[in-house]
């Protein structure tokens, strides 16, 4: 009986909508007729809990047991918070604290959710029906009344008539967000040109190459064949402020290979020293530190997106998403045998940005 009822209801719903379509004025819309008839709801099948009172009792028991379990979980979480406090400088206590509070909260929420779903599925009425949504369009009287209210408000406030007040109000609203624009602009560097900041690093003519993190200068003779050094400019560690910002731009990887393995273009002939080359460590893709140097293949791998650079050949890109070779730092040796920079990088380091040539 129930199934007949619902399918009948559904049919009338479908009929009424099609009737509405048919009454639309000719030419206003193309009515797409459904090629497949709505089959209606499948016949209702009673559940075990509908037929067997003992099953119903059992389901009821399950549901309230779950809700009680949820209470237990919540109380357990409170107890765990007190029993396993976080002891400073003891990471193990954090683990216990998180673990037991988490177990308690998970139990509380899961039991609550599972109980509610089980209640809905096993015990609540499960006969399907259709509730018609009321039409979105208001009745003609409501619409006329709304227009009337707007007009009345306009005449009473004089919004349309007193144009000076109206225009000054609009002006005030337009100007109001401006302080926010100025305030947020103040968060960016003020007295420095961001393009210049991105273009230059701490390296300049004569800056010694130093070890990261000790800051000890490096002699050319220290760099043996196959070595890879993590290099910073000397004096970086003495900076009072902005040390990380400078380091993020100026870190260099220094390697030595056999001079015959090194391919050098004529214009960079003087940039290396006896097989020692220095390249920016900042990937030209999105700026990850490129440090995975393979001393036999001379390949440098970026761990973030697998760009590969051939250090033996101007750090050109041989694989991956990076578009430009790593910038090379021209190096030389000073009178005491220490490695020094000939100049800053001749191109900006790191990923491309808006005003990079």
Residue with tokens 């002699």: 219
CB 255 within 8 A of CB 293: yes
Nearer to other proteins, 23 or 214 (CB): 214
Rounded distance between C-alpha atoms, residue 324 and residue 315, angstroms: 9
- On the CB side of 202, CA atoms within 13 Å amount to 25
As a whole number of angstroms, the distance between CA 305 and CA 298 comes to 18
Hunting for tokens 């227009």 — which residue is that? 147
Q: Does 255 bind other proteins (CB under 8 A)?
A: yes
Residue from 297, 305, 352, 355 in contact with other proteins (CB under 8 A): 297
CA-closest candidate to residue 311, choices 252, 239, 232: 252
Stretch that binds other proteins, among 67-75, 135-143, 297-305, 336-344 (CB under 8 A): 297-305
- Asked if 228 touches other proteins (CB under 8 A), the answer is yes
Q: Please give the distance of CA 224 from its chain centroid, rounded to a whole number.
A: 43
- Least separation in angstroms between residue 181's CB and other proteins is 38
The tokens 């007949």 sit on which residue? 4
The stretch among 93-101, 152-160, 193-201, 236-244 that binds other proteins (CB under 8 A) is 93-101
For residue 115 the two structure tokens come to 């109980």
The reply on whether position 121 binds other proteins by CB under 8 A is yes
CA distance 122 to 47: 8
Q: Which residues contact 3 (CB under 8 A, 6 or more apart)?
A: 41, 42, 43, 44
Which position among 70, 104, 209, 229 is part of the footprint of other proteins (CB under 8 A)? 229
Whole-angstrom distance, CA of residue 216 vs CA of residue 199: 26
252 C-beta neighbours (distance < 10 Å), count: 28
213 is an interface residue for other proteins by CB under 8 A: yes
Residue 222 engages other proteins in binding (rule: CB under 8 A): yes
Burial (CB count within 10 angstroms: exposed 0-12, middle 13-18, buried 19+), residue 56: middle
Instruction: Tell me, residue by residue from 28 to 67, as one string, x for binding to other proteins by CB under 8 A and - for no binding.
Output: -------------------xxx------------------
**Minimum CB distance to other proteins smaller for 157 or for 297:** 297
Closest to other proteins by CB, 158 or 213: 213
CB 276 within 8 A of CB 254: yes
Min. distance of Cβ 252 from other proteins in angstroms? 12
Task: For residue 262, state whether it binds other proteins (rule: CB under 8 A).
Answer: no
Minimum distance, C-beta of residue 80 to other proteins, in the bound complex (Å): 15
Q: Is 263 in the site for other proteins (CB under 8 A)?
A: no
Residue from 291, 313, 321, 351 in contact with other proteins (CB under 8 A): 291
What backbone torsions phi and psi does residue 325 show, to the nearest 5 degrees? -65, 160
Q: Which is nearer to other proteins, 126 or 347 (CB)?
A: 126
Query: Nearer to other proteins by C-beta: 101 or 198?
Result: 101
The reply on whether position 6 binds other proteins by CB under 8 A is no
Q: How far is the CB of 166 from other proteins (least distance, A)?
A: 54
Chain residues in the site for other proteins (CB under 8 A): 47-49, 91-92, 94-95, 99, 117, 121-122, 126, 211-213, 218-219, 222-230, 255, 289, 291-297, 299, 301, 303, 308, 319
């Amino acid at each position: 009986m129930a199934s007949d009822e619902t399918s009948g209801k559904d049919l009338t719903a479908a009929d009424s909508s099609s009737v509405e379509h048919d009454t639309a004025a000719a030419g206003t819309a193309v009515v797409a007729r459904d090629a497949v008839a709505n089959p209606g709801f499948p016949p209702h099948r009673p559940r075990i809990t509908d037929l067997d009172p003992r099953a119903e009792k059992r389901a009821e028991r399950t549901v309230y047991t779950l809700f009680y379990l949820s209470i237990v979980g919540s109380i357990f979480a409170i107890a765990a918070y007190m029993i396993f406090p976080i002891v400073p400088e003891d990471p193990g206590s954090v683990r216990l604290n998180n673990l037991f509070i988490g177990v308690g909260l998970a139990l509380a929420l899961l039991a609550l959710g599972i109980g509610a779903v089980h209640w809905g599925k096993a015990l609540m009425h499960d006969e399907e029906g259709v509730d018609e949504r009321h039409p979105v369009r208001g009745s003609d009287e409501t619409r006329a009344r709304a227009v009337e209210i707007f007009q009345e408000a306009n005449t009473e406030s004089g919004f349309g008539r007193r144009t000076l007040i109206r225009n000054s109000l609009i002006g005030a609203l337009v100007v109001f967000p401006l302080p926010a624009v100025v305030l947020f602009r103040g968060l960016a560097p003020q007295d420095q040109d961001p393009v210049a900041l991105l273009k230059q690093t701490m390296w300049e003519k004569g800056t010694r190459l130093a070890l990261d993190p000790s800051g000890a200068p490096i002699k050319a003779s220290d760099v043996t064949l196959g070595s890879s050094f993590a290099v910073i400019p000397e004096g970086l560690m003495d900076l009072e402020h902005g040390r990380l910002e400078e380091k993020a731009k100026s870190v260099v990887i220094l390697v030595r290979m056999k001079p015959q393995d090194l391919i050098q273009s004529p214009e960079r002939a003087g940039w290396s020293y006896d097989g020692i080359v220095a390249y920016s460590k900042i990937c030209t893709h999105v700026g990850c530190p490129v440090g995975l140097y393979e001393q036999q293949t001379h390949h440098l791998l970026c761990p973030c997106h697998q760009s590969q650079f051939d250090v033996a050949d101007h750090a050109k890109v041989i694989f991956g998403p990076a578009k430009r070779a790593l910038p090379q730092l021209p190096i030389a040796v000073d009178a005491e045998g220490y490695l020094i920079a000939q100049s800053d990088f001749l191109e900006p380091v790191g990923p491309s940005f808006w005003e990079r040539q």
